[in-house]
Amino acid sequence: MIPNPAVRITESLLRLLYPERCQLCGDQPASRAEGFVCATCQGSVRWIERPLCERCGLPFEGDLKHAFECPNCVEGDFAFGRARAVFVASGAGRELVHRYKYHRAFWFEPLFDRWVRRQSLPEPPGQGWSGIVPVPLHPVKRREREFNQAERLARLLGAALGLPVRADLVRRHAPTGTQTRLSRKARAANVRRAFGSASDADLSGTRWIVADDVFTTGATTDAVARILRGRGADAVDVWTLARGI
Per-position DSSP letters for 56-99, written without gaps between them: T--B--S---S----HHHHH---SSS-EEEEEESSTHHHHHHHH
pLDDT of residue 125: 67
Ramachandran angles phi, psi of 81, nearest 5°: -80, -50
CATH number (domain holding residue 205): 3.40.50.2020
Mean predicted confidence (pLDDT) in 24-45:
94
CA 110 to chain CA centroid, nearest Å: 15
pLDDT of residue 187: 75
pLDDT of residue 104: 95
pLDDT of residue 63: 80
Average pLDDT, the chain: 90
Name which residue leads in pLDDT, 189 or 46. 46
Supply the range of the domain harboring residue 100.
20-243
Residue 197 pairs in a beta bridge with 170
pLDDT of residue 43: 97
Chain segment 97-147, per-residue pLDDT in tens: 999 999 999 999 999 999 999 988 777 666 799 999 999 999 999 999 999
Mean predicted confidence (pLDDT) in 211-240:
96
Question: Sorting pLDDT into bands at 50, 70 and 90, what band is 17?
Answer: low
pLDDT of residue 219: 92
Whether 197 is covered by a domain: the verdict is yes
Q: Kind of pairing, strands 195-197 and 170-172?
A: antiparallel
Name which residue leads in pLDDT, 184 or 201. 201
Of the candidate ranges 96-100, 153-157, 182-186, 226-230, the one whose mean pLDDT is the lowest: 182-186
Whether 14 is covered by a domain: the verdict is no
pLDDT of residue 169: 98
Whether 10 is covered by a domain: the verdict is no
- Residues 145, 175: contact at Cβ < 8 Å? no
pLDDT of residue 181: 64
Whether 6 is covered by a domain: the verdict is no
In whole angstroms, give the CA distance from residue 53 to residue 19.
Answer: 41
Percent of the chain with pLDDT over 90: 73
Tally the domains of the chain: 1
Whether 27 is covered by a domain: the verdict is yes
Whether 2 is covered by a domain: the verdict is no
Query: Which sign, positive or negative, has the C-alpha torsion 138, 144, 147, 150?
Result: negative
> Is residue 13's pLDDT more than 70?
no
Chain segment 74-94, per-residue pLDDT in tens: 988 899 999 999 999 999 999
Whether 1 is covered by a domain: the verdict is no
Helix H or strand E segment including 212: strand 207-215
Whether 4 is covered by a domain: the verdict is no
pLDDT of residue 1: 44
pLDDT of residue 97: 97
Mean predicted confidence (pLDDT) in 46-74:
91
Name which residue leads in pLDDT, 164 or 179. 164
